Copies of this chain bind each other. A is one copy, B any other.
Amino acid sequence: MSQPAADRFPTPALEKLPADIRERILAVQEKSGFVPNVFLTLACRPEEFRAFFAYHDALMERDSGLTKAEREMIVVATSAANQCHYCVVAHGAILRIRAKNPLVADQIAINYRKADISPRQRAMLDFAMKVSRAAQDISEQDFTEVSRHGFSDDDIWDIAAIAAFFALSNRMANVTGMRPNDEFYLMGRLPK
């Protein structure tokens, strides 16, 4: 088997965590029925935990010109390019649920250029992928191209910031050998 990195960064016992972190974890557990491993892995560093989830929520929960499904598309596409087990599986599940589409997450993870998405979403992912893979090359032409599809400058910040935040997140998950919970693999695949 193969996540030896996980042994280096053991999950702290729930009862030893600061109260605010323990409460957040218990709340997630109540809502989801299980605790996504990202909460447990990061909890060993309370300050980083708080900053990480504050940042995450600021990007993924705020009102935005992007739907919540579209934001998850950015996560799945860029995390697949970074070969991040945790984020592709966990956010793939969330994308299936938010898009009410059992196929689109796998399609985007494998090759977003061939996914069943709108031209607007394709332009969004082209921009996000360039931020993720080659932000140093982003040019005025890239802004123009994505703007043509109706994205405001504020929306473009969202696209970029989500790609940038998961550049961080994917690296932490890969280094810590973070495993996606088994529950995620099947979520959103069955008709309700």
A82 touching B136 by the CB < 8 A rule?
Answer: yes
A136 touching B103 by the CB < 8 A rule?
Answer: no
Interface size class of A (residues with CB under 8 A): 35 or more
Contact residues, A108-144 vs B (CB, 8 A): 109-111, 113-117, 122, 131-132, 135-140, 143
In chain B, what residue has the closest Cβ to A114?
B85
B residues near A88, Cβ cutoff 8 Å: 106, 110
Other-chain contact of A174, B48, B135, B189, B190 (Cβ < 8 Å): B135
B residues near A170, Cβ cutoff 8 Å: 135
A84 touching B59 by the CB < 8 A rule?
Answer: no
B59 touching A83 by the CB < 8 A rule?
Answer: no
A84 touching B58 by the CB < 8 A rule?
Answer: no
B residues near A24, Cβ cutoff 8 Å: none
Would you give the 0/1 interface string for A167-185, flagging 1 where the beta carbon is closer than 8 Å to chain B?
1111110111100001001
In chain B, what residue has the closest Cβ to A89?
B106
* Interface residue? A156 (CB, 8 A): yes
* Interface residue? A39 (CB, 8 A): no
Seed contacts A102-B186, A103-B185, A138-B174; 11 additional CB < 8 Å A-B pairs: A2-B116, A5-B138, A9-B157, A48-B161, A83-B136, A85-B114, A103-B182, A109-B109, A160-B175, A164-B167, A164-B172
